[in-house]
Structure 1
Amino acid sequence: MKTVAVQEDLVDIREALNNKGYKIIDFKDEGHVDAIVYTNHHSGIASLNNDVSKDNLGAVLVNSTNKSIEEIVYIIEKRRYGSLFS
């Protein structure tokens, strides 16, 4: 099960990801997370570096602005925003 930190006010996204089997935590919770879901309105998160090493260590940052839950799940699972050729 993947652990995802979701911005507190993204209630619909929190519920949808929980229903899909993800463990949802708040930003203030400690420990390993696989992804961080936020909006443009959350100061500080958007400026973090989104580089992932070749071993896929660290959390992928997911800006949920204008994205469907399917797009968010894709980003969490594939650890990227989309194919270069689609």
Structure 2
Amino acid sequence: MVICISQELEYLQDELIKRGYTVINNRENNSSCDAIICKLKDGGLINLNMQNNIRREGTLIIDSGSKTIDEIEYILCNRIYNSLF
């Protein structure tokens, strides 16, 4: 699974790589990704500037918010979030 992370979340990169994921960011790679991890509250998708690399269907977008690495991995593995409300 290829995961794109926003620049301010690069601290997650090493941990995700240790867990077997391929991690890219928009500065170093222009390939498409299966999941995006960003801070939506801070305009994370806009800051990624990856319009050409986002698949129109099936790309998982994870708001990192206050999630732990284990919570993020759970979402990646199961492709689900808890209820927003």
TM-score in terms of structure 1 length: 0.70
Aligned length: 71
Q: How many angstroms apart in 1 are the aligned matches of 2:34 and 2:7?
A: 17
Aligned counterpart, 1:54: none
Instruction: Report deviation, 1:79.
Output: 1.1
Instruction: Report deviation, 1:44.
Output: 5.7
Aligned counterpart, 2:34: 34
Aligned counterpart, 2:9: 10
Identity %: 27
Instruction: Identify the structure with the greater helix proportion.
Output: 2
Aligned counterpart, 1:79: 79
Q: How many angstroms apart in 1 are the aligned matches of 2:81 and 2:69?
A: 13
* C-alpha RMSD over aligned residues: 1.9
Given residue 18 of structure 1, which amino acid in structure 2 is its aligned partner?
A: I
Gaps in structure 2 of 5+ consecutive residues: 47-56
Instruction: Report deviation, 1:18.
Output: 1.1
Query: Do the aligned partners of residues 44 and 21 (structure 1) sit closer, same or farther apart at CA in structure 2, a change above 3 Å counting?
Result: closer
Q: How many angstroms apart in 2 are the aligned matches of 1:34 and 1:45?
A: 14
